A and B are shown apart, each in its own frame.
Chain A
Amino acid sequence: MSQSAFVMHEEEYGEITAVVERLLREANAKCVYLVDKDGQLIASSGDIKEIDVTSLASLTAGNIAATGGMAKLIGEKEFSVLFHEGERDNLHISVVGQRVILVVIFDKRSSIGLVRLRVKKASDDLARTIQKLVSKMEAVTEEASLLEQITDDDIEKLFS
């Protein structure tokens, strides 16, 4: 593979979850998600029982990829913020640190202005944590041992 795995550690996961939960409160949002650009859900917070988060994560990544492709066609690097307005709920989607996507779902109890403001602050915090993770990934320690321990038997057993 030309790219190594994206690895999430406990410490950074804690930091990310704290930022996501704070954003949920401060933006008065219904739910907040963090998704990586390949469509994997990283963290979520809020009233998510009704929502299929795996699908939402994959479609969010598809959405960002598609608008990113459009941006390139007109000579932009990317569109870092997308806003979808619904009858009841709205979606605010933004790219953080070029690597992950922050999704905020909110209704009339909040406003686009408030969400934008809070997202900006949260993005800076998240970008710092993501940067830490990337540095850790380059150092490669823990995951190497996990992956090395996988045996052919483990893989075989998945299908037995």
Chain B
Amino acid sequence: MSFINYSSREINCKIVYYGPGLCGKTTNLQVIYKKTRPEAKGKMITLATETERTLFFDFLPLALGDIKGFKTRFHLYTVPGQIFYDASRKLILKGVDGIVYVADSQIERMDANIESFDNMKLNLDEQGYSLKQIPYVVQYNKRDLPNVIPIDELKQALNPDGVPDFEAAARDGIGVFETLKTVVKLVLIELKKSA
């Protein structure tokens, strides 16, 4: 849920990166962190296990400039992708304004993609959201790897609604900002519509 503060003149929104384990959600945030001007970003928080698997969430606050004299701030979160952290994923979805669904393009991860996508829909439902109403985009990550599924097949399985989608190789920074910009735009357009 966005937070509009008339006193400090700020609009705050929450964006969640969702997807199966090891699909590159944390990598997306790390790239955004690395390539953003120091004055536009806060500290990146990572709650991970000793083997660098996300345990609870990653968090990155971004300031994107002014709209009508209000500073716009976006809080980016990732969920833990591993199946058994479902309770944590539900918590992180609370108050979400926009979603980036990150898919792993590798053939052997297709089942994990579909399972995670279904899990996202289920968890959104539980929070009283619906994927039809919430701004979201899809990112097909790891396009640089040799054993990838054709884009059409991914689209068919993971983007039935035809929302904006992007091919990415997040570890090289490819597609990361295109994805972010689009979800930010969709969130702001939705906020405008809600007035």
A residues near B (Cβ < 8 Å) are 1-10, 13-14, 36-40, 42, 52, 54-55, 58-59, 62, 65-66, 68-69, 142-150, 152, 154-155, 157-159
CB distance from A137 to the nearest CB of B (A): 10
B70 within 8 A of A: yes
User: Secondary structure of the B side of the interface?
Assistant: mixed
Instruction: Determine the residue in chain B with the shortest Cβ distance to A64.
Output: B91
Instruction: Determine the residue in chain A with the shortest Cβ distance to B181.
Output: A159
B67 contacts A155, C-beta separation under 8 Å: yes
Quick one: which of A8, A37, A52, A148 has the most chain B CB within 10 A? A8
Listed by A's residue number, 27 A-B pairs whose Cβ atoms lie within 8 Å are A1-B1, A1-B133, A5-B4, A7-B6, A8-B6, A8-B7, A8-B8, A13-B5, A13-B6, A13-B8, A39-B95, A54-B61, A55-B42, A59-B45, A62-B56, A66-B56, A66-B88, A66-B91, A142-B6, A146-B4, A149-B68, A150-B192, A155-B185, A155-B189, A157-B65, A158-B65, A158-B72
B30 within 8 A of A: no
B residues near A (Cβ < 8 Å) are 1-8, 12, 14, 42-43, 45, 47, 56-57, 59, 61, 64-65, 67-68, 70, 72, 75, 87-88, 90-92, 94-95, 97, 128-130, 133-134, 181, 184-185, 188-192, 194-195
User: Secondary structure of the A side of the interface?
Assistant: helix
A42 to B12: give the CA distance in the assembly, Å.
11
